[in-house]
Structure 1
Amino acid sequence: MGKLYIIGTPIGNLKDISLRAVEILKESDIIFVEDKRVTIKLLNSLEIGKKELFTFSEYNAHKVLNKAIGIIKENNICSLVSDAGMPVISDPGYQLINKCWEENIEIDIIPGPNAPSAAIAISGFPGSKYMFQGFLPRGKNKRRLFRKMKDLGILFVFFESPQRLNNTLKEILEIVGNRDIFIAREMTKVHQELFRGKVSEAIQHFSKKNVKGEITVVLSGKEDENEKI
């Protein structure tokens, strides 16, 4: 019976990887990946060399799950990585991990960088509790979500695409109000941009440029509520 390691990989800067993660990647008989091209780039940067890679993404998970479980059972060490950050956190992988539990396959985890926690830390906003949404729903469901969290005294963290950012900010201003907001774009990468200010200021700032890259947003909670919770 093999063993599956869940390995956190860098969210941007490839140097942000743990020594233990490198060690297990070197020892792995096979690595389950979201995108082979991305993982090959990481392996090359670490001078690990060629490894057998098996694509396990949100698009094929249901088709290859049983085959993946069979591979784990046949090998000594298998690893699961996503393109960036921790697998499963707004990334594929939960089906594989859940199936391993059902099949009594040993699992271990090597934690690594995580965009939501990194953004919360650098935002400097008060409050130890937060809600992480991942990518926001569209249309009425997004507006409904904003109305629900309007009166919550917790941080609200989510991912957003560059194309939808300004529209989302305008909806936040309309429904939630002119709260303090932190926006991290391309975190830890060469073109990193960190913005902190009011929602109205964020709208002015990002409407003046062609926004690109991966975006993580931290919206402050209702005033005076953070300390009460």
Structure 2
Amino acid sequence: MTWNVQKSFQPMSGNATGTLYLVATPIGNLEDMTYRAVRTLQEVDVIAAEDTRQTRKLLTHFEIPSKTLYSYHEHNKHASGPELIRYLIEGKNIALVSDAGLPAISDPGTDLVALAIEEAIPVVPIPGANAALSALIVSGLPTDRFTFVGFLPRDKKSIEGMLQSLQFAEGTLLFYESPHRVAKTLEHMHRVLGNRRVVMARELTKRYEEFARGTIEECLAWLEEHPPQGEYCLVVEPSDGTATDAQQVWWESLSIEQHVAHYEERNGGNRKEAMKQAAGDRNVSRRDIYNALL
């Protein structure tokens, strides 16, 4: 077995490469920038940024001398990633930043880290603000175990498929959502997860920071009277593992034919997919569903 052991604060024998620093930036309040983050950005040779315009504003605010800014984001990562690795191999130190928060969380920084590790390039975290964990610790919901989901897929079928896979997840669930989709997302959650307690955290660390706590139904009612504004983090309580959850009981009164018909209607007539979903609900094989319908 080949071990890859990195000791971040000790010289690496025979390693003449640069170091990739993952630098957290503020999620709203600029006072959340750490001294270490500022120093790192001052000292590196290159800064890889999700949006170079946003990063340039950050550098100006903290009076960080002009740096080589390199664009690295979801749409150019396949071209930019190898180029950044080449710089690192040549001995340049690089700081990776996202527009807000920790890089590599819901952004393509994950891919760059993987490329760096493949080349035995040191990767060092520079911690700081994170929206999901900030929302979790003030939610009042369990913090001993949690699942970070991030943004859900775009289409209804994929959204509900993802939520179904989380029905019995142990621990609190953490989601990111935009203001124009938050109500629809809560509706999907209500259908699949049941009327769980949820915290809607918005504008974290900013002037209009707000936490709305209640059941999903209560939060939907709140949004009807208070139009969504700003980016949201949704903190959803875990399943209690009992038959009170909607996902466990909604289909129990249906025959297998009715159960399949329910999904078939939602899937635009795709009977094969409907049988697969019904089989998943009932924890049986698709062949069992097929045979029952013969």
TM-score calculated relative to the size of structure 1: 0.92
Partner of 2:44: 28
Partner of 2:21: 5
1:108 aligns with 2:105: no
Q: Give the CA deviation at 1:36.
A: 0.6
1:150 aligns with 2:150: no
1: CA distance between counterparts of 2:176 and 2:122?
Answer: 32
CA contact (8 A) 1:25 1:79 kept: yes
CA radius of gyration, larger in: 2
Partner amino acid, structure 2, of 1:143: E
Q: How does 1:1-229 map to 2 (within 5 A)?
A: 1-137=17-153, 138-223=155-240
Identify, as 1 or 2, the structure richer in strand. Answer: 1
Partner amino acid, structure 1, of 2:158: N
2: CA distance between counterparts of 1:104 and 1:145?
Answer: 34
Partner amino acid, structure 1, of 2:49: V
Q: Secondary structure at the match of 2:42?
A: helix
Q: Secondary structure at the match of 2:30?
A: coil
Q: Give the CA deviation at 1:77.
A: 2.2
Could you give the per-residue CA deviations for residues 37-87 of structure 1, whole angstroms, max 9, x where no partner exists? 111111112111321100010110001222111222334421111111111
1: CA distance between counterparts of 2:28 and 2:21?
Answer: 21
Q: Give the CA deviation at 1:224.
A: 7.4
2: CA distance between counterparts of 1:11 and 1:155?
Answer: 22
2: CA distance between counterparts of 1:66 and 1:92?
Answer: 13
After the TM superposition, which segments of 4 or more aligned residues of structure 1 sit over 3 Å from their partners? Answer: none
Could you give the per-residue CA deviations for residues 139-172 of structure 1, whole angstroms, max 9, x where no partner exists? 1121122233233342111111111111111222
CA contact (8 A) 1:3 1:73 kept: no
CA contact (8 A) 2:168 2:241 kept: no
Partner amino acid, structure 2, of 1:175: V
Partner amino acid, structure 2, of 1:104: A
Q: CA RMSD in A?
A: 1.6
Greater shift, 206-215 or 180-189, is seen at 206-215
1: CA distance between counterparts of 2:111 and 2:169?
Answer: 31
CA contact (8 A) 2:136 2:143 kept: no
Could you give the per-residue CA deviations for residues 114-139 of structure 1, whole angstroms, max 9, x where no partner exists? 11111110101124111111101231
CA contact (8 A) 2:137 2:143 kept: no
CA contact (8 A) 2:37 2:126 kept: yes
Q: How many equivalent pairs are there?
A: 225
CA contact (8 A) 2:179 2:230 kept: yes
2: CA distance between counterparts of 1:146 and 1:69?
Answer: 36
CA contact (8 A) 1:29 1:75 kept: no
RCO higher in 1 or 2 (8 Å CA, sep ≥ 6)? 1
TM-score calculated relative to the size of structure 2: 0.72
Q: Secondary structure at the match of 1:15?
A: helix
Is there any run of 5+ residues in structure 2 with no aligned partner, and where? 1-16, 243-294
